Copies of this chain bind each other. A is one copy, B any other.
């Protein structure tokens, strides 16, 4: 299969008139930064990510429950039980718990942001939560690394239908500028961060505390009531602990009357990732 990056069906959008806050130390190849930058869409484009439909083979979260967002009012907390207990009992990862929590927040037709799309598993999970026949939902997924955009594109191509992929917008950009992607008036239900480096990629390229904080502040501004900022922080690599402390400090500073901020953390595995959930009441 040809790389989706070479397909005319994929448009990698870069932002005009933006000062990029690069969140990794090694820049991606120049091919990702064309001299003529594309403008930012002000309405939801309908055809940003076309792929060839293949089997739906990737299911990063294994839960016995189906997505409950379609019947949110009937049973608002579906899907958490197995994953949450699995984490406590050492069987599930923080990323899986995060995705299970999203199911209790995100509804069909929502606008959501994957601030660090990486290999695309979170983007795919979000897409499944927002996609329905109304086609109102949208996943804005971004990453500065070419490999991440390629991986996400490829994963979507393999996993969901062309119709569903149209609901995803992929951006090669810094997540500090996420606000500029969202059409005026749209309420963002979820902003998800999976910090650190790209799994399987160059470990020297990783998110950094300064831009993470700016991105969190952006997320705080655009998440609506009943929405969530979800962060999986990795503390085992250089700079990871400092970045986690930045996340914690940011969370600690959010107003108690507007935000519920909690973390789920291993105690006898000091390098295990930490899940931080910031829920806007």
Contact = CB atoms under 8 A, between A and B. Distances in A.
A81 B77 contact: yes
Contact of A81 (B79, B253, B270, B276): B79
Count of chain copies: 2
A37 interface: no
Interface stretch (A9-17, A115-123, A197-205, A258-266): A258-266
A219 to B, nearest CB: 15
Interface in A124-154: none
A241 to B, nearest CB: 15
Query: Which among A254, A264, A278 has the greatest number of chain B C-beta atoms within 10 A?
Result: A264
Nearest to A254: B268
A224 interface: no
B279 A267 contact: no
Contact of A76 (B85, B101, B260): B85
A75 B86 CA distance: 12
Interface residues of A, number: 42
Interface string A58-88: 0000001000000000011111111011111
20 contacts: A77-B81, A77-B86, A79-B81, A80-B85, A88-B101, A88-B277, A89-B260, A90-B279, A248-B267, A251-B267, A254-B268, A256-B269, A259-B268, A260-B266, A261-B269, A262-B265, A262-B266, A263-B267, A267-B276, A267-B278
Interface of A: 64, 75-82, 84-90, 101, 104, 248, 251-256, 259-270, 276-279, 281
